[in-house]
Amino acid sequence: MDSEDLSELVGEFRNDVISDLIEKHMPPKAYAEQWDMDGLDEKIRSTLGLELPLHDWAAEEGVSNEEIEERVIAAADARAAERMEQIGADQTRGLEKQFLLQMIDMQWREHLVHLDHLRGVIGLRGYGQRDPLNEYKTEAFNLFETLLYELRHNVTRWLMTVEFRFEQPAPMEMPEFEEIHLNPGTGENEMANPLAQNPEGQLTGDDRARLPVDLLPGGWERTPRNSNCPCGSGRKFKHCHGSLI
């Protein structure tokens, strides 16, 4: 599993799965009338994600199960190539390796649990005058064959039927940039809000020239300059909000 490209192994799994399905639903020694095309069609859809004219193929005169198997393999290879083109070769290889390793790990753990259970069962068979060691070897081999069968089918079904969705990243929002003009003499930003720089309201003449009159609440501009400012600060209007005009 050190190789980054497991496409060949995945393809072998897929072909083995198709052979298993054909053998089960179209036994080699069965007549065409005995073929279970409905069952095969359902399995082809659920395992390979393919909709094929299986009934039409089976109705062809003289067609064999080997020919139908070859057609299914060709259709499955075409679908796998199409999915790789959609997802991308590198992305596909990464997904194949990641899922295959996960399935091997999960099913091997289950296999070890089954073997532990088998040891207890085989011990009981020793009372039936049967060789426990031979019984264990036979049953363990059958369990391993089942593990490989399920691994091939699970990997094939997942890689052939799961729909992959790759969302585009959200566009980055550009921050709002403050307009800056540095005074070469003071190094201060002349475009900054003069109210923020002078929280006490003591604005310079240059500041007042840059501020619009409508910063004052309605009617405040008629306040006598030596009167207290309407804002309630306790300062004279001319030294508070009146400095804005």
Average pLDDT of span 76-105: 90
Please state the CATH superfamily assignment of the domain spanning residues 7-161 in this structure. Helical scaffold and wing domains of SecA (1.10.3060.10)
Of 22-26, 76-80, 108-112, 183-187, where does mean pLDDT reach its minimum? 183-187
For the chain, give every domain's residue range: 7-161, 194-244
Of 30-39, 61-70, 112-121, where does mean pLDDT reach its minimum? 112-121
Enter the DSSP assignment of 47. Answer: H
Evaluate whether 83 touches 7 at the Cβ level (below 8 Å).
no
Most confidently modeled range among 142-146, 178-182, 233-237: 142-146
Give me the phi and psi of 189, to 5 degrees please: -80, 110
Q: What percent of the chain has pLDDT over 70?
A: 68
- Give the span between the Cα atoms of 151 and 9, in whole angstroms: 12
Distances (CA, A) of 210 to 192, 194, 215, 221, 232: 11, 9, 11, 17, 25
Over residues 165-220, the pLDDT tens digits come to 656 666 766 666 555 555 555 656 555 554 444 544 444 544 444 444 445 566 66
Does residue 8 carry a pLDDT above 50? yes
Does residue 231 carry a pLDDT above 80? no
pLDDT for res 210: 44
Cβ-Cβ contacts under 8 Å for 77 (sequence gap 6 or more): 11, 14
Q: pTM here?
A: 0.61
- Give the span between the Cα atoms of 239 and 40, in whole angstroms: 92
- Give the span between the Cα atoms of 27 and 25, in whole angstroms: 6
Most confidently modeled range among 3-7, 34-38, 116-120, 185-189: 34-38
Residue 48 or residue 192, greater confidence = 48
